[in-house]
A and B are shown apart, each in its own frame.
Chain A
């Protein structure tokens, strides 16, 4: 039985955050702490012939310099989120790769030491961009359903166009920060991460130690967006430094280096042929996508189709994909990694189709609704996309729109455009284990797999806990991102809530049962805490676990071992996706041709909304990301030397306060009847999917110019 609607409640950790009291990884203090700094590779490919460290070692305060000699040789494996990273190695695979690690008494000495290291390099030829000689196109497996060629041959209208989404970097404001402490035969790592469980296993493998002696804590993360889901290269380096020096070591990576160390959203090119019949039914799609990848990158190219093929009820879909291998660090998951670029392309094509057909773009989309996952043939567990469109159109005032391009203008000549686009995102889940402890002293502790990076998982857990249990919230401790409290799994892909929240309901039921067994028929008044106190127990603790639909205990074991154990969105009996509709107004200034976004209406179907306040913030944040990606963000590759040119926040332009105006957010708030006991689906990523298409469609409506390459800039509109 799905839960009834949840009430509004404040963010549980907001008080600490506004006082500067929330402790992020780099805020941890340890006596005798040493500071570390890396020496990055100046070349994209080659081999270190010699590291000259004498001058650096003479700098007062520099205590040690780690080089490849301090690490056992490691094989490079396919780069995936949980893969162990190499230690320091002489072979250079990308510009910015760490070549040495300086450890010093002060940060200033560490920086000076890093700058004093001299490196002799034997350079090798490299391919910097997807268009460079030597960039190798490598097809990925197709994702196809039905017979797209036949369907397109029978279509009465075909839109054919190419779209491009640029290289982008996550840039959470918290820098990649690692502190490692080696004491009493255990290694403790504090790092802002989405994947504490994988760090535990991967760092142990890189250093050749037992994962059982490694503890990882990532209690509060300063933004992540997918960047912190992958095991970072620096973590094992800092851990090794702590083991060699016997002192705690901290590294806060400079932002310019992070552009080259962490993953990024790769450039992708999308070629779409979309066919419709005379009634406006979309009948077939041939969609080819190429993405940039690194030589050993494992970020799959064909997942762009996972969302696009389920956006409408299109039976015949040919999904083609390829990697273009270049000499860079591995690209990876950045918020809505596939769905954002794919829906930019696909929802732009649908808008083009609406003009070719002379149909209203909202009505055209609503006419192509489906209740079936056309790829698997199974039913969708819930889909309220048409409700999102309907509510959004009403709130936005869509009926007042003049459909003709360049037909709406302000008195000063500013062109006004209204655009719409939809988004969707798979609803995924991983196995998890949770413990609930209720103590006689009135305190409550809940520990589960999950990471808090601002999305509000602690607040959502508290929302369910306080509904199920009478507890003193001031004495409630919610432990996430801590391998000593519960086995940890990668928190990403908007699967955090589905993987953790239903366990609260289960744990509370188990706890009530345990208390009843303890009381053995005695009737004691008061809360569970008081009942436990009355029978003189210090506390009672229960453990519960959950697997996703169709998963068995093997998946649970994989999760417990620090592995990747996600399933979905195609489950044995149904498919579950979240949906959103975005309505955007743009204003294009007459002389500067600057594009402004004065208002956005976004209505989401994420199933039951558990934490209305943090959910609305998530959607507003996703819309800001969409605006930023549509109009601002692109990382420029240096074709001469590899690496990225605009590797700071002045040159890599993200949306600031002045770029954002009204964002009106709403939820259908209909529980999903099949996916879990609460009826929730997924939200963090779907919130941004489709925004960039809605902006581009609005720019077309304002100006008559169809822009198929992001970001849209002033010079595109001159």
Chain B
């Protein structure tokens, strides 16, 4: 568990023993991200910066403790950035690079709203450390279409009304494009199975499956 979902005690040990599960080994919420990473408490407070690749000195100067510098390609655009080592790829995209298409729905890799492609494969960007994008290519919903021309999957989602609130939609579409590319859009049953990592709480599943079938034929797969 991570991200302060933990609502277990931070209180006085005696009080904890009386009234809370803190320290109880059965508490499913007792592990936090810091513990997982095993890093110290110190971290940089300096604002994150986006620097074009060519502007950055090849001579990497000493970075503040708890930070690391990465270079990545996001939607075809080179990005060099110094990050807090704890930063998820999702938070890097949303909070630093202003790419807010990928959404935070759970921060636990359970809902699929944050799905992006990393080197052509779909990943839950909330469970992917931003540092793992170093030297790799990231594709988000913003990079899927070219100008006004929509990707066939985007058009199919419109045509089949495969969305309602739209919050999970960028993740659904990135997962759907990957589903077709993986060769998993060969039947409705298979689509349903391979799209079940992306929750649509509005319940647009019938439209989503129809959209993927439709787009798969246009994409020359499935």
User: A-side interface residues toward B, CB under 8 Å?
Assistant: 10-11, 13-24, 26-27, 29, 35, 37-44, 46, 49, 59-61, 95-96, 104-109, 111-112, 114-123, 171-175, 220-225, 252, 254-257, 260, 453-456, 613-614, 616-618, 620-625, 628, 638, 640-641, 643, 645, 647-650, 654-658, 660-663
Contacts and interface: CB of A to CB of B under 8 A. Distances in A.
Contact of B167 (A61, A109, A174, A257): A174
A120 B158 CA distance: 53
Given A115-B34, A657-B196, A60 B45 contact: yes
Nearest to A250: B95
Given A19-B154, A20-B170, A617-B207, A657 B195 contact: yes
B184 interface: no
A121 B9 CA distance: 9
B124 to A, nearest CB: 12
A180 B202 CA distance: 27
Contact of B3 (A17, A40, A111): A111
Contacts of A120: 11-12, 15
B110 A20 contact: no
A42 B204 CA distance: 37
Nearest to B151: A18
Given A18-B158, A116-B41, A222-B167, A255 B106 contact: yes
A625 B203 contact: yes
A643 B7 contact: yes
B166 interface: yes
A41 B173 CA distance: 38
B184 to A, nearest CB: 12
A314 to B, nearest CB: 32
Given A61-B43, A621-B164, A42 B157 contact: no
Interface in B98-115: 98-108, 110-111, 113
Interface in B111-163: 111, 113, 140-142, 145, 150, 154-155, 157-159, 161, 163
B7 A257 contact: yes
B100 A106 contact: no
Given A221-B165, A453-B165, A648-B108, A256 B7 contact: yes
A96 B16 CA distance: 14
Interface residues of B, number: 88
Given A60-B42, A115-B6, A115-B10, 19 more contacts: A11-B163, A15-B158, A20-B141, A40-B7, A42-B11, A61-B45, A108-B87, A109-B43, A115-B4, A116-B41, A121-B9, A123-B18, A222-B166, A223-B202, A621-B202, A648-B108, A654-B201, A657-B205, A660-B205
B32 to A, nearest CB: 6
B7 to A, nearest CB: 4
Nearest to A38: B4
A223 B161 contact: no
Query: Which applies to chain B's interface (DSSP): helix, strand, loop or mixed?
Result: loop
Given A43-B20, A252-B104, A223 B167 contact: yes
B5 A17 contact: no
A60 B43 contact: yes
Nearest to B170: A20
Interface string B1-27: 101111111111001101111100000
Contact of B142 (A20, A24, A221, A654): A20
A638 B158 CA distance: 42
A57 to B, nearest CB: 12
B80 interface: no
B175 to A, nearest CB: 10
Contacts of A22: 166
A173 B201 CA distance: 6
Nearest to A114: B4
A658 B110 CA distance: 15
26 contacts: A42-B7, A42-B10, A60-B44, A60-B45, A105-B45, A107-B91, A118-B10, A118-B12, A119-B9, A120-B12, A121-B11, A123-B15, A123-B19, A174-B165, A221-B165, A225-B201, A255-B5, A617-B164, A620-B204, A643-B7, A655-B203, A657-B208, A657-B209, A658-B192, A658-B193, A658-B196
Given A43-B19, A254-B3, A648-B110, A109 B45 contact: yes
Interface in B22-68: 22, 28-29, 32-34, 41-45, 47-48
